[in-house]
Structure 1
Amino acid sequence: MRVFSVLLLLVISASCAFAQLDRKEKAMVGWIDEHNGEAVELLKELININSGTMNFEGVRQVADALIPKFKALGMEAEFLDGSAFNRAGHLVARIRGGKGPNILMIGHLDTVFEPDSPFQQWTQVDDQTIKGPGIADMKGGDVVILQTLSALNNAGLLKDMNIWVVMTGDEELSGRPLNLSKAELIKAAEWADVALGFENGDGNYKTANVARRSSSGWKLEVTGVPSHSSQIFKPNIGAGAIYEASRILYQFYEELSKEEYLTFNPGNIVGGTSISYDDKTNSGTAFGKTNVVAESAIVNGDIRCISEEQYKRAQQVMKRIVSEHLPQTEATITFNEGYPPFAPTDGNYELLKQFSQVSQDLGFGEVSPVNPADAGAADISFAAFGIQMGLDGLGMGGTQGHTVNEAGDMRTLPMQTKRAAILMYRLLKGN
């Protein structure tokens, strides 16, 4: 009797939620369910194409599988060559129907699994779970984008909408220079009012990203006076390069480690009498004897911030600390280009509120914001400067991304598609 009561409550709850949908929304939900098998087959096809970032042919193959499907929806679609920034390139698709806001949809074609990875194929774990390279990060999200647009097209809505899809080919390992690598995203952001990112966020369908921290690099270079170790700390010899490097790192920790959402990690350090470091391989060599004061040290690290203001403030503090040298030492710090922050704006929270209402109307429950400390950088950050509102993490749910155990939750493929399609329809209507 108790089990029957619980099931009855669930049926009533789902029916009440579905009643909140209008005729077109119900039609889209039905279409997505009817065509989910096709979406699964497409996802399997994409998963089984290796598209590690540096496998240019594989990245292009994924684009080639998707472009005809965008064109079948009446969209302009093409592949933009990426040789100028040493990557395969990007897929772009557009439709300009003239009604509603300008919406940018962001995905990426590449994965972290290159052709020499042992992880290459779609593998069914159970009825709900599939293992596969890039299934959650983010070929599942790419399929959500296509299915969302297909549902809107079937409802007769897409032809009136303004949509610009950018699926980059180098999200996992950005080409350089970044101003060329991300040029299409930046151009689309200048045009867009709304940006929707279909990364998998934290993998939980109950959350979405209103913010992502930045990701960029820094290099600390230190010099000291070489001498016999018996002379260290004397006025004309001073502390040496390694002591100076350690002082700087400790003061970074002391002054900045407690600030919310700010992290800075020294990933490697090389120090001694003679050193070398290769930025391309992230490796170095050092020679130094215990009875010699170290002449040189290099530290390489990353820094992540929630806003441009926090980044500039952290830079100022770090530069000041670096300038306060120990005796007879010199040090400089340089900051490298990287992903900017996707800051948590009022517009982003408003869009999350609308998305959460859609989810509730579908019977999927509320959606809450991901803690920015739990999410990495993503391409939507390059759109943050130009949009009124944005939301990321709308892709397929999954776990253990960037590992050979990456898995996707197949229940979330139609779920995320329904939520995105209805959100975009309501944005078109202006409510």
Structure 2
Amino acid sequence: MSFLKLSYVLIIALATTFPLTSYAKLDKNEQQIVTQVAQHLPQALKEIEQAVNINSGSLNLAGVKKVGQLATAQLTAIGFKVEWLDGSAFNRAGHVLATRESNNPNAIKILMIGHLDTVFAENDNFNTYTQLSPTLASGPGVADMKGGNTIIITALKSLHELNLLNNVSIKVLLTGDEESSGQPLNLSKQAIVDAAIWADVALGYENADNNIETAMVARRGYIDWTLTVEAQAAHSSQIFSDTVGFGAIYEVSRILNSFREQLASQPNLTFNPGLIVGGTHADFDNAHSTATAFGKSNVIAQKVYVAGDLRALSPTQEEDAKKTMQRIVSHNLNGSKATLEFADGYPAMAMTEGNQKLLAMYSKASEDLGYNKVVAANPRNAGAADISFAANHVDMALDGLGLMGAGAHTQNETADLTSLSKNIEKSALLIYRLGQL
């Protein structure tokens, strides 16, 4: 089926999902926004397909740059000044930063956040956009988050063509390392922090929990941790003796189970040991998440490594959990010694009054369009995201405004195309209304 014919079929299919409404709650400009978005829908679909068909796994630097070039052309065409922020200092491709400043010195400043990279490596066999039906598409990053980038650009394009961007100043930041952060983290995320310090409002276009009836007013932060346990190697017949002790594997078992017993009941706190290796000899390559070990059933294990993550909803919750974990680690079984190290990670995006106010505005835009009410998503239902680096620097932040779908980070990733026009319209209305404050 040709692209034009497929686009026509899609528009007809989407039309059946639109509300039967006269848009009586929309002013004249807002009604024009809806019309403008509909006109741009075929091009938006084409732009998603173009971006998805370029592999941009985080470590495919050339691919990430190529997706950035597509976005640069699209944003330049609607009056944005676009910069490529080179990422060599943090071992990634870099970021796209596009700016359009209002002549009104009192204009509200809005930061819109997306990302160029995906989790799919250059040699992955899941590498093309496929139209599964008029309302469903699959492909690497189709929802997470090349569809979200297209929602950002198409909403701004619609407002630009109606001359409705004059009362807002906009920065669009499309990062090149959201799925695999460059190191050091303070360099790879500096562009987000700088843009957020400039902004009043931050909008994130991840697909979050893939529920069009929710948006994220809070996100959990996360940090990685590494647990190392050492003990005395000896013949297995000597285990539990006063001279040899309990060995590394019993000690690590005690520690992990104590984590579970003392912390697992805390709301919104999780800590996951994702890799464990141990034996007489054990080696853990943190950079590549690989490990090797040698051991025998009749030899007491001498060394164990565990790699995991910790996710919390506030800095206080994170610090309290870290203290509890360190206390557990310090009370070692006889004959063993353990150390626990925490790495830098993503901060939490705390729920604030400003975030809730922004959600209310977004929900009203949805309802005024004849769509559903939008409520706060459960933070447990989504991972960390770049907006967390911005949230503490703005008055209001909201995430999860992207293209809905399913199966993100797997070869079953799909996008629900019925959400495309709806979320473009809602974003465009939200930006327009923010400009009226």
Residue 53 of structure 2, aligned match among 42, 48, 51: 48
Residue 43 of structure 2, aligned match among 31, 38, 45: 38
Instruction: Output the amino acid matched with 1:334.
Output: E
Counterpart CA distance in 2 for 1:120 and 1:288 is 40
Secondary structure at the aligned position of 1:390 is classed as: strand
Tell me which residue corresponds to 1:76.
Answer: 81
Secondary structure at the aligned position of 1:60 is classed as: helix
| 8 A contact 2:225–2:342 mirrored in 1 | yes
| 8 A contact 2:167–2:436 mirrored in 1 | no
| 8 A contact 2:229–2:303 mirrored in 1 | yes
**Does residue 273 of structure 1 match 2:280?**
yes
Counterpart CA distance in 1 for 2:238 and 2:60 is 54
- 5 Å matches for 1:167-316? 167-316=174-323
Counterpart CA distance in 2 for 1:421 and 1:50 is 29
Among all aligned residue pairs of Structure 1 and Structure 2, give the percentage whose two residues are the same amino acid.
47
Tell me which residue corresponds to 1:423.
Answer: 430
TM superposition shift of 1:12: 12
Counterpart CA distance in 2 for 1:91 and 1:299 is 36
Counterpart CA distance in 2 for 1:292 and 1:15 is 74
Write out per-residue CA displacement over residues 315-337 of structure 1, whole angstroms, 9 at most, x where no aligned residue. 01001101111112211101111
Counterpart CA distance in 1 for 2:143 and 2:37 is 19
Tell me which residue corresponds to 2:413.
Answer: 406
| 8 A contact 2:165–2:432 mirrored in 1 | no
TM superposition shift of 1:13: 7.1
TM superposition shift of 1:11: 12
Counterpart CA distance in 1 for 2:142 and 2:290 is 31
- The normalised TM-score by structure 2 is 0.93
- Shift in CA distance, 43/327, structure 1 to aligned 2, threshold 3 Å: same
| 8 A contact 1:203–1:397 mirrored in 2 | yes
| 8 A contact 2:246–2:335 mirrored in 1 | yes
| 8 A contact 2:94–2:177 mirrored in 1 | yes
- 5 Å matches for 1:114-153? 114-153=121-160
Instruction: Output the amino acid matched with 2:38.
Output: D
**Does residue 157 of structure 1 match 2:180?**
no
Tell me which residue corresponds to 2:21.
Answer: 15
Structure 1 stretches of 4+ moved >6 Å: 10-13
Write out per-residue CA displacement over residues 253-305 of structure 1, whole angstroms, 9 at most, x where no aligned residue. 10011111111111121222221111122122222222322222111111111
| 8 A contact 1:110–1:168 mirrored in 2 | yes
- Listed as ranges, the gaps of 5+ residues in structure 1 are 1-9
| 8 A contact 1:107–1:197 mirrored in 2 | yes
The number of residue pairs the alignment matches comes to 420
TM superposition shift of 1:182: 0.7
Counterpart CA distance in 1 for 2:273 and 2:365 is 43
Secondary structure at the aligned position of 1:215 is classed as: strand
TM superposition shift of 1:215: 2.1
Secondary structure at the aligned position of 2:435 is classed as: helix
- The normalised TM-score by structure 1 is 0.94
CA RMSD between the two structures: 1.6
Counterpart CA distance in 1 for 2:335 and 2:19 is 73
| 8 A contact 2:19–2:371 mirrored in 1 | no
| 8 A contact 1:28–1:154 mirrored in 2 | no
- Shift in CA distance, 347/68, structure 1 to aligned 2, threshold 3 Å: same
Secondary structure at the aligned position of 2:133 is classed as: coil
Secondary structure at the aligned position of 2:250 is classed as: helix
Counterpart CA distance in 1 for 2:418 and 2:297 is 60
Instruction: Output the amino acid matched with 1:202.
Output: D
Secondary structure at the aligned position of 1:298 is classed as: strand
- Listed as ranges, the gaps of 5+ residues in structure 2 are 1-15
| 8 A contact 1:206–1:367 mirrored in 2 | yes
TM superposition shift of 1:154: 1.6
| 8 A contact 2:247–2:300 mirrored in 1 | yes
Counterpart CA distance in 1 for 2:138 and 2:406 is 9
TM superposition shift of 1:159: 3.6
- Shift in CA distance, 314/11, structure 1 to aligned 2, threshold 3 Å: closer
Residue 374 of structure 1, aligned match among 357, 375, 381: 381
Counterpart CA distance in 2 for 1:51 and 1:220 is 33
| 8 A contact 2:44–2:150 mirrored in 1 | yes
Secondary structure at the aligned position of 2:346 is classed as: coil
- 5 Å matches for 1:340-355? 340-355=347-362
TM superposition shift of 1:207: 1.3
Tell me which residue corresponds to 1:62.
Answer: 67
Instruction: Output the amino acid matched with 2:75.
Output: F
Instruction: Output the amino acid matched with 2:374.
Output: V
Instruction: Output the amino acid matched with 2:186.
Output: N
Tell me which residue corresponds to 1:5.
Answer: none
TM superposition shift of 1:65: 1.1
Counterpart CA distance in 2 for 1:428 and 1:167 is 22
| 8 A contact 2:112–2:170 mirrored in 1 | yes
